[in-house]
Chain A
Amino acid sequence: MSVLNSKGGHKLIATPRQPGSKPFVDAAAQGVFKLPYCRSCDQPHWYPRPVCPRCLSDKVEWETASGQGEIYSFTIMRRAKIPYAIGYVKLDEGPVMMSNLVTEDFEALHIGMRVKVFFEDDGEGNLVPLFEPAN
């Protein structure tokens, strides 16, 4: 997206959250980015699930993460009213997550670029993690 959702740019698609996502949402409200870790297999995963997708244990706990990572891949969606950048970010903790890459300068985006998380309301009260260049 060229500019933020809240500044008239490409809009996030409002999507209700599942009950198990409450700890993530509560942390996001404090500006904190959390990742789900499994206490049985000792690994993080994404997207978050109350049941660990690696070992099916229910011993999943949320831990504060760096919110930093690098672009794994991305594209600029040109066939949209307002073009937007969608990508996969490889978090420093390991998992790769889908997000939007928010910048005024699409041309500067590249695989391997360092990015950091921030949160944006989807318009219906759901905080969504987005990424911007880390400078």
Chain B
Amino acid sequence: MSIKGRACIVGAYEHPTRHAPDKSVAQLHAECARGALEDAGLSKDDIDGYFCSGDAPGLGPLSMIDYMDLRVRHVDSTDIGGSSYLALVSHAAQAIALGKCNIALITLAGRPRSSGMATGTAPRAGNPDQPDLEWERPYGPATANLYAMAAKRHMHEFGTTSEQLAWVKVAASHHAQYNPQAMLRDVVTVDQVLESPMVADPLHRLDCCVISDGGGALLVARPEIARELKRPVIQLLGAGEAVKGQMSGDVDLTYTGARWSGAAAFAEAGVTPADIQYASIYDSFTITVLLQLEDLGFCKKGEGGRFVMDGNLISGVGKLPFNTDGGGLCNNHPANRGGITKIIEAVRQLRGEAHPAVQVPGCTLALAQGTGGSIGTRHGSTTLILERV
């Protein structure tokens, strides 16, 4: 049994805020839910499945279902970090295919910017029962330095350069200039990336994503319901998920779980990387994009640096338009978990509703890719392939 063609994304909403000191996390979740319902033309009572992840306050679905007073018959709170929301779309499709629900709501929201969280540069507290904690936390592992180690190793093995990594940010900034809600709208050059302060060698400040408040929501529904609504029908063709860790000590930082989640999604969808017209690629850091592009098969392993150069990721310029909202590098990284924004921009592209300056003409096949946790230690990877019917 496959989820291919069994479920559609009928509502998508990105909260416009990037700084919400006067709102609670639960309120942001609810505002995102309202936005997705308005986008779809559905009402709250239509929802019979609810999906959220670790950003939801309290006991996740218990707190949020009560907060929004939903009456659902299916819940899921898979937490694999920023990659969760792509997995939740897949899980919603599975539930819909099995008749467990008809219309699933997925929400994400958070306010790390308002809470002054040093998201990428301070070691996280961790749970005392986390088995790796005593063997890693003493050394000061922070998101930025863990990803930096992956970048350093990629440079060592494949000759990747800081200039090549910078091109990922340059491309994102070209897109962000058209997004009035993006945190960083200025177009930057390779030199500006290289001249920005070093955070953890070889990653500069502009190799890192933004820290923003905000959120997003999606509605996933049966195809029959999607066809009755007035929005373009965006169906799920394939999905894959994977978790990659340190493999008992056989650490290899040169590839990500996208090697596995991507292969599964492409196999289920029955398409190849060459067929993809637009790709949302999780961009916590520039190196994150480069590794995933290789692992998804858009180029060979080790050739990511050359692939992203010279604007190859810029819509209208290069071969693979990516993150046309500006991505996590420029637009938004709500709750430090960018997965849902990756899906939302892919939906905009497939609907033909991206900004005209970055809209891919005739976009009917798109990919969204998420990572969660840290590629430097252990991470989730999820891949979705979406089609406009």
* Contact residues in B for A47 (Cβ distance below 8 Å): 131-132, 135-136, 246, 249
* Contact residues in A for B253 (Cβ distance below 8 Å): 72-73, 88
**Tally of contact residues, A, Cβ under 8 A:** 42
Identify whether the interface residues of A are mostly helix, strand, loop, or mixed: loop
| Residue of B128, B132, B135, B136 with highest tally of chain A CB at under 10 A | B135
A contact residues vs B (CB 8 Å cutoff)? 10, 12-18, 21, 43-49, 53-54, 72-80, 84, 86-88, 94-100, 111, 122, 126, 128
Task: Please judge, given known A-B contacts A73-B152, A76-B200, whether A96 and B249 are in contact too, CB under 8 Å.
Answer: yes
User: CB < 8 Å: which of A54, A80, A111, A122 contacts B248?
Assistant: A54
**At the interface with chain A, which of B49-57, B139-147, B257-265, B267-275?**
B139-147
Q: Is the CB of B152 within 8 A of A15?
A: no
Whole-angstrom distance between the Cβ of A47 and the nearest chain B Cβ: 4
Task: Please judge, given known A-B contacts A73-B149, A73-B150, A84-B140, whether A97 and B248 are in contact too, CB under 8 Å.
Answer: no
The answer for the CA separation of A15 and B132 in the assembled complex, in Å, is 11
Which residues of B202-255 have CB atoms within 8 Å of chain A's CB atoms?
202-203, 246, 248-251, 253
Whole-angstrom distance between the Cβ of B183 and the nearest chain A Cβ: 19
User: CB < 8 Å: which of B134, B137, B156, B377 contacts A21?
Assistant: B134
Closest A residue by C-beta to B198: A78
Q: Is the CB of B249 within 8 A of A86?
A: no
| Residue of A18, A43, A78, A111 with highest tally of chain B CB at under 10 A | A78
User: CB < 8 Å: which of A16, A18, A87 contacts B149?
Assistant: A87
Whole-angstrom distance between the Cβ of B17 and the nearest chain A Cβ: 26
Task: Please judge, given known A-B contacts A73-B150, A75-B145, A78-B201, whether A15 and B138 are in contact too, CB under 8 Å.
Answer: yes
Whole-angstrom distance between the Cβ of A108 and the nearest chain B Cβ: 14
Q: Is the CB of B139 within 8 A of A16?
A: no
Closest B residue by C-beta to A47: B135
The answer for the CA separation of A12 and B133 in the assembled complex, in Å, is 13
Q: Is the CB of B200 within 8 A of A10?
A: no
The answer for the CA separation of A16 and B315 in the assembled complex, in Å, is 50
Q: Is the CB of B140 within 8 A of A13?
A: yes
* Contact residues in A for B144 (Cβ distance below 8 Å): 77, 79
Cβ contacts A to B, 24 pairs, < 8 Å = A10-B140, A14-B138, A15-B133, A15-B138, A46-B249, A47-B132, A53-B248, A72-B253, A73-B152, A75-B201, A76-B198, A76-B200, A77-B144, A77-B200, A79-B144, A79-B200, A84-B140, A86-B149, A87-B149, A88-B251, A94-B250, A100-B139, A126-B134, A128-B138
User: CB < 8 Å: which of A14, A53, A73, A79 contacts B156?
Assistant: A73
The 5 closest A-B pairs by CB, nearest first: A95-B249, A46-B249, A47-B135, A75-B148, A96-B251
Identify whether the interface residues of B are mostly helix, strand, loop, or mixed: mixed
The answer for the CA separation of A28 and B99 in the assembled complex, in Å, is 57
* Contact residues in B for A97 (Cβ distance below 8 Å): 135, 249
B5 at the interface (CB under 8 A from A): no
Count contacts between A and B, CB distance < 8 Å.
115
**Tally of contact residues, B, Cβ under 8 A:** 37
Whole-angstrom distance between the Cβ of B369 and the nearest chain A Cβ: 23
Closest A residue by C-beta to B120: A79
* Contact residues in B for A15 (Cβ distance below 8 Å): 133-134, 137-138
* Contact residues in B for A76 (Cβ distance below 8 Å): 198, 200-201
Q: Is the CB of B141 within 8 A of A18?
A: no
Q: Is the CB of A13 within 8 A of B198?
A: no
Whole-angstrom distance between the Cβ of A68 and the nearest chain B Cβ: 16
The answer for the CA separation of A99 and B200 in the assembled complex, in Å, is 15
The answer for the CA separation of A17 and B134 in the assembled complex, in Å, is 6
B61 at the interface (CB under 8 A from A): no
Known pairs A47-B136, A100-B139. 17 more at Cβ < 8 A?
A10-B140, A15-B137, A15-B138, A16-B128, A47-B132, A53-B248, A72-B253, A73-B156, A75-B145, A75-B200, A75-B203, A76-B201, A77-B199, A84-B140, A88-B253, A95-B250, A122-B138
User: CB < 8 Å: which of A21, A77, A87, A96 contacts B246?
Assistant: A96
Task: Please judge, given known A-B contacts A78-B200, A111-B153, whether A96 and B138 are in contact too, CB under 8 Å.
Answer: no
Q: Is the CB of A75 within 8 A of B149?
A: yes
B121 at the interface (CB under 8 A from A): yes
| Residue of B152, B153, B197 with highest tally of chain A CB at under 10 A | B152
The answer for the CA separation of A43 and B121 in the assembled complex, in Å, is 35
B123 at the interface (CB under 8 A from A): yes
| Residue of A12, A53, A96, A98 with highest tally of chain B CB at under 10 A | A98
